[in-house]
C-alpha cells in the first residue's frame, strides 16, 4: 500500500481547491450583507414613488422593513436548523449530491437575485421575495458547509486551515466587489447587476473545483474511506514497527515475543479508540462551546444591523464609500487578520480561565458601537461621531472576533481524544450557528434601543 508521506499534492491543486471551496461557502452571506445599501435604497426608492399625499396635506407614513435585522435573522436561523439536520442527512444522501446539489441551488438563487435587479417590483413583494431567497440560499449553505467540513477533515490538518482562510476572505472579496461596482461610474442598477454576477461566477468556479477534486491522485488517496482507516493505522504504528524491525536482526526469539506483545497491544486498540458519547464530548469542550456562541452573539448583535446605519460626518463622494470601506471592508480584513494571527500566537492557552474572560470582555463593543453616529436614532446620544473613532472601534471589534473564533475552533478538538475530534468539530459548528442566530435575534431590540 502507498504510504501517506509518498503521495504529493502536485502544484498544490487540492490546497487551492479547498481554499476556493471555503471562499464559496460564505459568499452568499457576505454578498447579501454587503449589498444591504442596495436593498435599503431600493426599498426606500420604490416606496417613495408610490407614496401619495392626502387632501388634508398630511404625508402617508412609510413602512419600515428593518431589512438588515431580518436579513441577519433569516440568514442564521436556517443555518442553525440545517446544520443540525445535516448530521442526519449525511447518512441518507451521498456527499457528492449534498455538495454539488447545494452549490447548484446557490447558483440558481444568485442568478435569481441578479435578474431581480432589472425587474420593477413593489417594495413589499420585493422584500418578501428577497427574504425567501435569503432563507433558501442559507439552508443550502448550511448543508454545503457541514459537508465540506466533514470532507476536509479527512485530509491533513493544514487543509482545514486553508479552508477556513478561504472563508475568512469571502467577506473581503464581497466588500471589494461592492467598491468596484460603486466606482464603475455606471448607474445604480447596472452596478448592482455586475455586483451580483460576481458571486455567480465564483459559485461556478466552486462547482468546477469540486468536480475536479476526485480526479486528483492526492484527493483520491485521502478521501477514500478505506484508505483513510489504513492511513490512520499506518501513521500510528509506523514507529513501533520500525523499532521491532531492529530487534528482528538481533534476536529472532526476542522478535517473536515483541510481535506477540505488539499484537496484544493492537488487539486492545479498538476498545481504547472507541468514540465517546456525545454528552461526554460536550462536557469536555463546554468552555469552548460557550466561547464560540458568545463571540458570535456579540458580533451579530450589532454587525451589520447597527453598524451599517452609522453615517459619515463628511459630505460629498465619500458618503457612497463610507459604509463599504469603514464598516464592511474594515471588518472583514481585520476578522481575517485575527484568524491568521492564531497561526503564530495562541494566547491565552486553552486551559487558561483568561480565555473565556477575554471573550466576555468583547461585550463592551456593543454599547460603544451603539453610541457612534447611527442614524436614525431615538433614545441614545451620539458620543463617537467622528469617522475615525468608528473605524478604530470596528478594527478592534473585528480583530478580536476573528481571533477568538479561530482560537475556540482550534482549541476544542485538542480537548478531546483524537477519535472524538470529529464529534467535537460538529458540536462546535452547531454552537457557532447558535451564536449567529442569538446575535441576529438580539439585533432587533438593540437597533430599536438606539
Which pLDDT value is given to residue 436? 87
Residue 190 shares a structural domain with residue 331: no
Report d(CA 52, CA 10) in Å as an integer.
65
Which pLDDT value is given to residue 401? 93
CB distance 95 to 147 below 8 Å: yes
In the listed set 209, 224, 239, which residue is the last one of a domain according to the structure?
A: 224
CB distance 323 to 37 below 8 Å: yes
Residue 281 shares a structural domain with residue 216: no
Which pLDDT value is given to residue 77? 85
* pLDDT tens for the chain, residues 1 to 450: 455 556 788 888 999 999 999 899 888 888 888 887 788 888 874 444 444 445 455 555 567 777 888 888 888 888 888 877 776 666 677 888 888 999 999 999 999 999 999 888 888 899 999 999 999 999 998 888 878 877 887 788 778 778 877 888 888 888 888 888 888 777 778 888 888 999 999 999 999 999 999 888 888 888 775 454 445 444 444 444 444 444 444 444 444 444 444 444 444 445 556 777 878 888 999 999 999 999 999 999 999 889 989 999 998 888 888 998 999 899 989 998 888 888 788 888 888 899 999 999 999 999 999 999 998 888 899 999 899 999 999 999 999 998 998 888 888 888 888 777 767 777 887 888 889 889 988 998 999 998
The C-alpha cell at 119 is 425587474
Q: Which pTM was predicted?
A: 0.75
Note the Cα 13 to chain centre separation in Å.
Answer: 22
**Count of domains observed in the chain:** 2
Looking at the domain assignment, is residue 248 inside a domain?
no
Residue-wise DSSP of 300-336: HHHTTTTGGGB--S--STHHHHHIIIIIIIHHHHHHH
Which residues neighbour 306 within 8 Å (Cβ) at sequence distance 6 or greater? 369, 370, 374, 443, 446, 447, 450
Task: Kindly report the CATH number assigned to the domain that includes residue 24.
Answer: 1.20.1250.20
Residue 220 shares a structural domain with residue 282: no
Residue 37 shares a structural domain with residue 180: yes
Which residues, listed in sequence order, are joined to residue 62 by a DSSP beta bridge? none
The C-alpha cell at 379 is 433614545
Residue 288 shares a structural domain with residue 219: no
**Phi-psi region at 63: left, alpha or beta (left = phi > 0; alpha = psi -120 to 50):** beta
In the listed set 182, 200, 224, which residue is the last one of a domain according to the structure?
A: 224
Looking at the domain assignment, is residue 105 inside a domain?
yes
Looking at the domain assignment, is residue 167 inside a domain?
yes
Q: Which residue has the cell 476573528?
A: 402
Residue 349 shares a structural domain with residue 214: no
Looking at the domain assignment, is residue 54 inside a domain?
no
Residue 215 shares a structural domain with residue 287: no
Range of the domain at 96: 8-48+65-224
Residue 353 shares a structural domain with residue 448: yes
Looking at the domain assignment, is residue 239 inside a domain?
no
Query: Residue 385 — φ and ψ, nearest 5°?
Result: -85, -25
Looking at the domain assignment, is residue 271 inside a domain?
no
Which pLDDT value is given to residue 4? 53
Which pLDDT value is given to residue 92? 77
Residue 219 shares a structural domain with residue 289: no
Report d(CA 35, CA 71) in Å as an integer.
11
Which residues neighbour 336 within 8 Å (Cβ) at sequence distance 6 or greater? 165, 168, 169, 171, 172, 402
Looking at the domain assignment, is residue 254 inside a domain?
no
Which pLDDT value is given to residue 255? 46
Residue 137 shares a structural domain with residue 206: yes
CB distance 5 to 236 below 8 Å: no
Looking at the domain assignment, is residue 270 inside a domain?
no
In the listed set 224, 243, 259, which residue is the last one of a domain according to the structure?
A: 224
Residue 214 shares a structural domain with residue 291: no
Residue 86 shares a structural domain with residue 174: yes
Amino acid at each position: 500500500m502507498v504510504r501517506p508521506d509518498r503521495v504529493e499534492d502536485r502544484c498544490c491543486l487540492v490546497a487551492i481547491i479547498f481554499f476556493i471551496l471555503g471562499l464559496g461557502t460564505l459568499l452568499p452571506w457576505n454578498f447579501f450583507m454587503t449589498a444591504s445599501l442596495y436593498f435599503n435604497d431600493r426599498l426606500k426608492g420604490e416606496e417613495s414613488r408610490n407614496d401619495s399625499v392626502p387632501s388634508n396635506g398630511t404625508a402617508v407614513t412609510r413602512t419600515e422593513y428593518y431589512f438588515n435585522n431580518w436579513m441577519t435573522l433569516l440568514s442564521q436561523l436556517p443555518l442553525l436548523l440545517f446544520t443540525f439536520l445535516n448530521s442526519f442527512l449525511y447518512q441518507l444522501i451521498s456527499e457528492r449530491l449534498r455538495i454539488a446539489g447545494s452549490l447548484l441551488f446557490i447558483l440558481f438563487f444568485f442568478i435569481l437575485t441578479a435578474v431581480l435587479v432589472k425587474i420593477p417590483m413593489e417594495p413589499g413583494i420585493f422584500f418578501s421575495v428577497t427574504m425567501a431567497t435569503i432563507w433558501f440560499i442559507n439552508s443550502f449553505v448550511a448543508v454545503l458547509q457541514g459537508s465540506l467540513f466533514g470532507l476536509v477533515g479527512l485530509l491533513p490538518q493544514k487543509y482545514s486551515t486553508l479552508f477556513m482562510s478561504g472563508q475568512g476572505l469571502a467577506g473581503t472579496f464581497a466588500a471589494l466587489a461592492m467598491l468596484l461596482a460603486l466606482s464603475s461610474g455606471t448607474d445604480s442598477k447596472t452596478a448592482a447587476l455586475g455586483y451580483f454576477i460576481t458571486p455567480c461566477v465564483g459559485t461556478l468556479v466552486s462547482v468546477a473545483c469540486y468536480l475536479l477534486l476526485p480526479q486528483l491522485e492526492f484527493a483520491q488517496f485521502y478521501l477514500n474511506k478505506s484508505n483513510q482507516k489504513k492511513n490512520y493505522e499506518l501513521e500510528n504504528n509506523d514507529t513501533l514497527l520500525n523499532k521491532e524491525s531492529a530487534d528482528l536482526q538481533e534476536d529472532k526469539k526476542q522478535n517473536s515475543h515483541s510481535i506477540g506483545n505488539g499484537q496484544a497491544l493492537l488487539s486492545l486498540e479498538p476498545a481504547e479508540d472507541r468514540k465517546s458519547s456525545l454528552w461526554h464530548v460536550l462536557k469536555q469542550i463546554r468552555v469552548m462551546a460557550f466561547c464560540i456562541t458568545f463571540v458570535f452573539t456579540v458580533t451579530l448583535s450589532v454587525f451589520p444591523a447597527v453598524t451599517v446605519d452609522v453615517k459619515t460626518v463628511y459630505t460629498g463622494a465619500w458618503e457612497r464609500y463610507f459604509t463599504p470601506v469603514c464598516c464592511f471592508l474594515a471588518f472583514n480584513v481585520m476578522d481575517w487578520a485575527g484568524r491568521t494571527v492564531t497561526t503564530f500566537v495562541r494566547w491565552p492557552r486553552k486551559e487558561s480561565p483568561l480565555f473565556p474572560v477575554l471573550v466576555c470582555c468583547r461585550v463592551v463593543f456593543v454599547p460603544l458601537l451603539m453610541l457612534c453616529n447611527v442614524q436614525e436614532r431615538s433614545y441614545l446620544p451620539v458620543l463617537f461621531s467622528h469617522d475615525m473613532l468608528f473605524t478604530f472601534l470596528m478594527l478592534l471589534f473585528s480583530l478580536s472576533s476573528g481571533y477568538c473564533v479561530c482560537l475556540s475552533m482550534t482549541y476544542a478538538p485538542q480537548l478531546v481524544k483524537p477519535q472524538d475530534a470529529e464529534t467535537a468539530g460538529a458540536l462546535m459548528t452547531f454552537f457557532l450557528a447558535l451564536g449567529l442566530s442569538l446575535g441576529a435575534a438580539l439585533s432587533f431590540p438593540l437597533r430599536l434601543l438606539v
